[in-house]
Structure 1
Amino acid sequence: MKIAVRSLAAVAAAATLVLAGCSDPGSGQQTGAAPASWPAQDTKLDGVTLTIWAAQNSNKTPDSVIAGFEKLTGAKVNVVTIPDPYEQGIQTKVATGDKPDLAFWQPTASMLTALNATTNLQSLDGAPWVDNYTGSLKDITGILDGTRYAALVTTPAVEGVYYNKEVFAQAGVTDLPKNWDEFIALGQKLKAAGVTPFFEMGGEKWATQWWVQVQLADAAKDGLWDRVNENKEKFTDPTIQGAISNYKQLIDDGLFNSDIKTATFVDQGNALLGGKAAMVMQVNSFFGQLQALADTDELNQKIGFFPISPSGNVGTFIPDQSNALVAFKTGDDKREAATRQLLSYWLGDGYADFVKAQNTVSLLSEVTTPDTVPLALQDVAKSLDSSVGSMQALAVANPDLYLNLADMIQGTKSPTEVAEATQAQFAQLAKAQGVKAFQ
């Protein structure tokens, strides 16, 4: 699965972390306190070894940074791959006292809470790179209760529409949809012309939730997830229930691929790139698959991106673990300082080489995005300034909405049952986390 969704087991681990934090009042660590210093990037670190925990899809991401940092400082940096499910594995390890110096981590408030950030993570307040973030990135994520705990290194994922430019051109589509109604009308026009409008990967399940979440963008701007967190609005109430029911109606109307129940992530990429479908509702990891299939010139020719919401072109952002890192409190002052130094280098002198090696959009005003980055990815990054947080970004817990929607696609749950099951699990997760409104 490409985007973290917290399971009950993961929340149990999180609860253990919270209890562990409460039982250690004499640790000497000031929760939420800013680090004492941010060492110069070239401070010598001979004899210092740092460890980074990474998932299988992010364990090569730091390679260029590590090479440059080791040469500059004399430090040694080891990357340890934590098997999937990554987030659950991390929480279990930390709950037993096993900590790295750094870890890739989803920088949302709920997932920082899952690590008991105030006890286990270093504050990154005062970090020298923060004011260099472009646009709204400084404040978009990585912060819990006013303290910064995560460092963004790549563009947060955005839920939106990837489309095949050639399919659009062949169907005479010259203007992109400006709101949800236009988006669905376009799908109906393409279907009437014999084109598969939308391709869904129901066989692998995890992307099903994007269709519901983008419909909630306007409501999210209006405080939907605050109300859900306060138990004042539920998944079974008209806003979220309506989005679920709308998704089911689009499927029933035949606007998706005929093999929706079994289609995979790979099938989805092949279908869009090959022109067998016009549009896909996805996040950034989908484009990574396309990059493995085609070069930048072909992608620029064939693939475009636009955000969508009920009233306009508002994106829904969903940072994942490959976008950011957190620094742990290990009790070793020298290593903790070296960890902050590594982050300063990553988002300092090492960042230009990093974005070049990753062929990704630069997050820093002082570093230019490489010309080789596909236009669609640049459009994704541009959409962030006007985007709104997803359920994963704004809710206090993230229930298995995607699994329930996959059941709906398979015909084993109705839209009403999807909402009921999701609400019941959300309440259970929120209660386990100690959220006041659910006690």
Structure 2
Amino acid sequence: MKLKKHFLIPFMLVFALTGVLSGCGGGNGTDNSADNAKNTANSGKEQGKTGNEAKPLSGKVTFLTNRTDMIGKEYDEYVKRFNEKYPDIKIEFEASQTDYNQQAKVRMASGELPDLMFIPDIPNSDLPKYFAPLDDLGLSSEITFKDFKAYDGKLYGITTGNSTSGIVYNKKAFADAGITEIPKTWDEFLAACEKLKQNGVIPLASNFKDKWPLGSWVYDMPRVIENNRDFPNSRINMEAPFTMDNGYGKAMSLIKELADKGYLEKDINSTNWEQSKKDVANGKMGMYFLGNWVINQVIGVGAKSDNIGFFPLPFDNSGELRAAFNPDFFYAVNKNSKNLEATKAFLKWMLEDSGYEDFAGFISPLKGRESKLTQLADFQATGVELQEGMPDDPKVIEISNKAQIDLPAIAQEFVLAKDPQAVLDKWNKAWAKAKQELGY
């Protein structure tokens, strides 16, 4: 799930969620009452030592989150369980209603950061300006993708969870349309789309207008098609990185073909993200091409878990199955937080004890923890090769920012254009100009 870039003035909702509930079990359904009692009794001895005296952690922790759907629900339950261990720490959620990336940057520019947040798309060299090192959490050996948000040997961001992109689909919609096997080639995928369309089902929900759901097409597929996990960074050596015959052009051509054949929404300029989840759940729409994180969201709006499947998107007719493996948002702690240790305690609890990764449909951010999502097991049973991502080259980020490269927006232009090559030429020119001006 990439950070959205279109800016809207956000409507802020602040919820103070606190509480202590004795004997409340963990989110995984196991009985943790004995451990909880022990943790509560020892809560004043956990962290925050001054000299030889143990000092209970206390204070208020603000967390800027994009998961507005969890406020008043799962977050309430998390806080109750967290307060069993740390009763003197108050957790307050700030809800980002629209463009998290832009909102976070505005907050960074103003110096008014929350205690805990997700890192927007800034160069890693800027991380120490805003965030505290997290090497002291005691999780160094377990953290996945820990080199993604690190600088000068220090860790500044920890992934909230990991995901792979693929086709999330309604099994009944497939069966009703006469699709008996999951597609393993692009031609088979197109044939499945046609069967769905003929049966009155919108084959694939693209949420084209919202732009950010196109991220899997332009961030993941180019490197998967090229079979080169570092392909996005290789642009540093290119004057024209966007061509019809490389990963970018081929990936955008795939979604353009789906649009041209009528396999996306009837009006791709008036899509609705929240409604699309319900439509995939009830079979009005057949598929998504998104990360596995969306599976639980579709189930959450009414689908039965055993009616939602997940398989790799076949991008050509070779029969090879590859899919990107990526981190999602990265947690970070405000270096100027007035309650730094309390914030770190909450972050560590979220990683180890909250169960958020299972709720969100993620692969755990910590090594060695198996996912409870059966769809992921089915996905991997196809023999798909998971291609782990690489950290972004700071120079590539710098060039992209200067050239105002917004890959999902470029995909929108490409799909709607009568002359897609002209779109690529336009952005190649912007890239080359920015690259030259920066001296790369």
Query: With structure 1 as the length reference, what TM-score do the two structures score?
Result: 0.70
- Aligned residue among 351, 356, 367 for 2:354: 351
Partner of 1:403: 409
Distance of aligned partners of 1:218 and 1:289 in 2 relative to their CA distance in 1, 3 Å threshold? same
Conserved in 1, the CA contact under 8 Å of 2:278 and 2:302?
no
Structure number having the greater strand percentage: 2
- Aligned residue among 303, 308, 311 for 2:313: 308
Please state if 1:72 is matched with 2:104: no
Distance of aligned partners of 1:46 and 1:245 in 2 relative to their CA distance in 1, 3 Å threshold? closer
Aligned residues with identical type, % of pairs? 22
Query: With structure 2 as the length reference, what TM-score do the two structures score?
Result: 0.70
Partner of 1:235: 242
Conserved in 2, the CA contact under 8 Å of 1:50 and 1:76?
yes
Residues 356-395 of structure 1 mapped to structure 2, 5 A cutoff: 362-364=364-366, 373=373, 375-376=374-375, 386-389=386-389
> How far, CA to CA, are the matches of 1:391 and 1:198 in structure 2?
30
Conserved in 2, the CA contact under 8 Å of 1:361 and 1:381?
no
2:298 partner amino acid = L
Distance of aligned partners of 1:365 and 1:400 in 2 relative to their CA distance in 1, 3 Å threshold? closer
State the secondary structure of the residue aligned to 2:141. Answer: helix
Conserved in 1, the CA contact under 8 Å of 2:145 and 2:327?
no
Deviations 1:27-50 (A, max 9, x none): xxxxxxxxxxxx974554355333
> How far, CA to CA, are the matches of 2:125 and 2:340 in structure 1?
17
1:386 partner amino acid = L
Residues 62-141 of structure 1 mapped to structure 2, 5 A cutoff: 62-73=75-86, 74-105=88-119, 111-113=121-123, 116-125=126-135, 127-133=137-143, 137-139=144-146, 141=148
Partner of 2:342: 338
1:169 partner amino acid = A
Residues 75-224 of structure 1 mapped to structure 2, 5 A cutoff: 75-105=89-119, 111-113=121-123, 116-125=126-135, 127-133=137-143, 137-139=144-146, 141-144=148-151, 147-153=154-160, 155-188=161-194, 196-216=202-222, 217-219=224-226, 221=228, 223-224=230-231
State the secondary structure of the residue aligned to 1:116. Answer: helix
Partner of 1:52: 63
Q: CA deviation at 1:149?
A: 1.7
Q: CA deviation at 1:304?
A: 0.5
Partner of 1:272: 280
State the secondary structure of the residue aligned to 2:68. Answer: coil
Residues 17-32 of structure 1 mapped to structure 2, 5 A cutoff: none
Partner of 2:332: 326
Gaps of 5+ in 2: 9-43, 49-54
Q: CA deviation at 1:146?
A: 5.3
Q: CA deviation at 1:326?
A: 0.4
Q: CA deviation at 1:195?
A: 5.8
Q: CA deviation at 1:126?
A: 5.4
Distance of aligned partners of 1:89 and 1:143 in 2 relative to their CA distance in 1, 3 Å threshold? same
Gaps of 5+ in 1: 10-38
Distance of aligned partners of 1:286 and 1:367 in 2 relative to their CA distance in 1, 3 Å threshold? closer
> How far, CA to CA, are the matches of 1:156 and 1:75 in structure 2?
28
State the secondary structure of the residue aligned to 2:205. Answer: coil
Distance of aligned partners of 1:273 and 1:339 in 2 relative to their CA distance in 1, 3 Å threshold? closer
Q: CA deviation at 1:267?
A: 4.5
Q: CA deviation at 1:407?
A: 4.1
Query: Which structure carries more relative contact order (alpha carbon 8 Å, separation 6+)?
Result: 1
Deviations 1:242-289 (A, max 9, x none): 332343233223333433343332443344333334332223454354
State the secondary structure of the residue aligned to 1:351. Answer: coil
Q: CA deviation at 1:381?
A: 9.0
Distance of aligned partners of 1:41 and 1:342 in 2 relative to their CA distance in 1, 3 Å threshold? farther
Q: CA deviation at 1:320?
A: 4.1
Conserved in 1, the CA contact under 8 Å of 2:205 and 2:288?
yes
Partner of 1:419: 424
> How far, CA to CA, are the matches of 1:97 and 1:121 in structure 2?
12
State the secondary structure of the residue aligned to 2:162. Answer: coil
Conserved in 2, the CA contact under 8 Å of 1:156 and 1:319?
yes
Conserved in 1, the CA contact under 8 Å of 2:205 and 2:264?
yes
> How far, CA to CA, are the matches of 2:191 and 2:358 in structure 1?
40
State the secondary structure of the residue aligned to 1:238. Answer: coil
Q: CA deviation at 1:305?
A: 0.8
May I ask how many residue pairs the two structures share in their alignment? 384
Q: CA deviation at 1:160?
A: 1.6
State the secondary structure of the residue aligned to 2:204. Answer: coil
2:389 partner amino acid = G
Partner of 1:15: none
State the secondary structure of the residue aligned to 1:244. Answer: helix
Distance of aligned partners of 1:161 and 1:63 in 2 relative to their CA distance in 1, 3 Å threshold? same
Deviations 1:335-364 (A, max 9, x none): 33333333333333x335x55776866444
1:53 partner amino acid = L
> How far, CA to CA, are the matches of 1:70 and 1:7 in structure 2?
36
> How far, CA to CA, are the matches of 1:213 and 1:341 in structure 2?
33
Over the residues paired in the alignment, what is the CA RMSD in angstroms? 4.2
